[in-house]
Structure 1
Amino acid sequence: MALSPQQPDRRAELADFLRTRRARLAPRDVGLPEGSRRRLAGLRREEVALLAGVGITWYTWLEQGRDVQASSETLENLAHALRLDGKEREYLFLLADRPLPDKRPSHGKVNSELQRMVEHLEPNPAYILGPRWDILAWNRAASLVFTDFGQLPEERRNLLWWYFTDPVARQRFSVWENYARCWLGQFRISWGRYAGEPDFVELVEDLKHHSSEFRSWWPMHEIYGRYQGRKEIEHPLVGRLVLENAMFRVEETPGVSLALYVPLPEEETAAKLQRLLESA
């Protein structure tokens, strides 16, 4: 929903509000490296765009007061990226002419419609991630290809925790370190949105304690784009699987995303997935 042409004052106020909130933050406040010498105080526009998961051009237009659309999820991500408190967040939604949603999505549940959708994506592996990368839902294909997520303790049913601490993950992914650093760099953006929240802090501290790689790489502040593309998996029953991974945001639930893996025309991956499902 765009602000109407009859609301230029509201758009100008929103633009000015975003600029002032950006100017008061330093990179260290949001878990980003300081980088090169800065002429002006505050975050750069591209840093806010990165933390909020939006395009730099779109965010620039928003700060320029142009008549652009901003969904509730995007506003929620901007609120987290700019470290807005409760009243500032409410004001942001008011200026954008959007109803104020609940402050945070549930970390532990998805609705029945999402669960059914994931199940019907078979034979393609798929799962739903929460804001902290907790695995909220998955289909049978995902359990057969990766691991039986249902057998993991609920408090440890988290993609990063599984990938960095479970030996099965190291066995499944042929280039474990490459994927680990990529996923960690993407999680860093989620951390930037929610840094300081107790459940995020607890996860990071636990991973530092249990994974030497995580402990070594976390202070580097590496940032990556969305973790999608080609994935090669060594499966103990059917051999090598070559899949393409893509991530999709769940629009009505801020911070929640769908991960989908589809077979590439190599290594007879599609036929192998079908055999796995039929033999389970």
Structure 2
Amino acid sequence: MSNDNSKSKTLGAFLKSRRNRLQPEQAGLRLSQGQRRTPGLRREEVAMLAGVSATYYTWLEQGREVTASKEIIESIGEALQLTHDERAHLIQLWNPNEAVAISPIHTRLNPQWQHIIDQLSYPSFISNEKAEVLAWNSAANEVITDFSSLSVSERVMIRLLFVDSELRRRMVNWEEFASYSVAVFRTYYDKYLGDPWFEETVERLRVESMEFDTMWKQHHIQLKKVNRVSFQIPGAVEAVSYDINSLASITDQPGLHFCIYTPVLCPSSAW
């Protein structure tokens, strides 16, 4: 299967997932008489809202390689009420002028970066777009999980969230954080369509975890943002909350991220 065809299929699957999510009343449509077999909008309803033919939209959703202008794609995104991140993702999947070559995902670090996170008292680690944890400090070992005891292949945050039972037990808002993490990982998966590592990792997780499989099928998309996570730390009376700040664009390796877990001083505060 060619990369272009894979991208067309992925674009179609993404459109379908967003259509199924949107209810007629949310789109300002009157409910028709009779039972609806579709969980969200019908294809012809999306086509009407976007100002395109039902056949044309159907072909897009089926993953056929049809010509679509940016204006049409943007109209469909508006009809589906996509978020800012989702619209950017849709354009990336559609863009016919995107270079085929994608920068490799880095796995090697400048030794100085380990020294930087070692100076931090907050739990911190460095990861790439595969969610591989490449470096971490002692606080991350204590609060998140014992990265030092894991093999290189096991140090993948998206897997640890679903297969590390101890991490899951201590993470108070696990379901919310896991859903967010799957959406971020899905964004990178679609970016590197056809990459064997991503495909094998996803297939393995779908077998290992029914919850991951359910979240994956939802095809949610999310760019990294400041996110909050709470841990029940041994010895602490109450759960400790952290805001995860992800600092990207490290020199000439923009796919790497410093993930710094900053303690929330006031539980009632909001970013």
Which category describes the TM-score, using the shorter chain as reference length? Answer: 0.5 to 0.7
Q: Note if contact 1:242-1:266 (Cα within 8 Å) is conserved in structure 2.
A: no
Quote the offset at 1:166 in angstroms: 0.7
Ranges of 4+ aligned residues in structure 1 off by more than 6 Å: 51-54
Partner of 2:163: 165
Residue deviations 1:247-274, cap 9 Å, x none? 111342132211111112148xxxxxxx
Q: Return the letter of the residue paired with 1:112.
A: P
Quote the offset at 1:182 in angstroms: 1.1
Quote the offset at 1:163 in angstroms: 0.5
Partner of 1:179: 177
Q: Return the letter of the residue paired with 1:152.
A: L
Paired with 2:160 and 2:208, the residues of 1 have a C-alpha distance of: 11
Q: Which SS does the other structure have where 1:109 is aligned?
A: coil
The 1:187–1:42 alpha-carbon spacing in structure 2 relative to 1, beyond 3 Å, is: farther
Q: Return the letter of the residue paired with 2:117.
A: V
Partner of 1:275: none
The 1:134–1:25 alpha-carbon spacing in structure 2 relative to 1, beyond 3 Å, is: closer
Q: Note if contact 1:186-1:227 (Cα within 8 Å) is conserved in structure 2.
A: no
Q: Note if contact 1:81-1:193 (Cα within 8 Å) is conserved in structure 2.
A: no
Q: Return the letter of the residue paired with 1:262.
A: T
Partner of 2:153: 155
Residue deviations 1:168-200, cap 9 Å, x none? 121121121111111111111111111210011
Partner of 2:15: 33
Partner of 1:129: 127
The 1:105–1:217 alpha-carbon spacing in structure 2 relative to 1, beyond 3 Å, is: closer
Q: Return the letter of the residue paired with 1:111.
A: N
Partner of 2:260: 260
Residue deviations 1:64-122, cap 9 Å, x none? xxxxxxxxxxxxxx6x985878xx457xxxxxxxxxxx93132x3211122222222x2
The 1:208–1:25 alpha-carbon spacing in structure 2 relative to 1, beyond 3 Å, is: closer
Residue deviations 1:196-228, cap 9 Å, x none? 100111110110111110112211112234252
1:63-102 correspondence runs (5 A):
82=95, 88-89=99-100
| Superposition TM-score, scaled by structure 2 size | 0.65
The 1:126–1:81 alpha-carbon spacing in structure 2 relative to 1, beyond 3 Å, is: farther
Q: Return the letter of the residue paired with 1:182.
A: Y
Q: Which SS does the other structure have where 1:222 is aligned?
A: coil
Q: Note if contact 1:246-1:260 (Cα within 8 Å) is conserved in structure 2.
A: yes
Query: Which stretch of structure 1 is more off in the superposition, 110-119 or 218-227?
Result: 218-227
Q: Note if contact 2:85-2:221 (Cα within 8 Å) is conserved in structure 1.
A: no
Paired with 1:151 and 1:224, the residues of 2 have a C-alpha distance of: 30
Quote the offset at 1:230 in angstroms: 2.5
Show structure 1 runs of 5+ residues with no match: 1-21, 60-77, 91-101, 268-280
Paired with 1:109 and 1:253, the residues of 2 have a C-alpha distance of: 10
Q: Which SS does the other structure have where 1:235 is aligned?
A: coil
Paired with 1:118 and 1:31, the residues of 2 have a C-alpha distance of: 39
Quote the offset at 1:246 in angstroms: 1.4
Q: Return the letter of the residue paired with 1:103.
A: S
Q: Note if contact 1:127-1:138 (Cα within 8 Å) is conserved in structure 2.
A: yes
Paired with 1:30 and 1:249, the residues of 2 have a C-alpha distance of: 30
Partner of 2:118: 119
Quote the offset at 1:242 in angstroms: 1.6
CA RMSD for the aligned pairs?
Answer: 3.4
Q: Work out which of the residue numbers 177, 186, 189 in structure 1 matches 2:187.
A: 189
Paired with 1:173 and 1:256, the residues of 2 have a C-alpha distance of: 24
Q: Which SS does the other structure have where 2:15 is aligned?
A: coil
**Percentage of pairs with the same residue:** 22
Partner of 2:40: none
Quote the offset at 1:27 in angstroms: 6.7
Partner of 1:201: 199
Paired with 1:150 and 1:171, the residues of 2 have a C-alpha distance of: 20
Paired with 2:7 and 2:207, the residues of 1 have a C-alpha distance of: 30
Q: Which SS does the other structure have where 1:174 is aligned?
A: coil
Paired with 1:225 and 1:255, the residues of 2 have a C-alpha distance of: 13
Paired with 1:83 and 1:191, the residues of 2 have a C-alpha distance of: 19
The 1:241–1:197 alpha-carbon spacing in structure 2 relative to 1, beyond 3 Å, is: same
| Superposition TM-score, scaled by structure 1 size | 0.63
Quote the offset at 1:25 in angstroms: 5.8
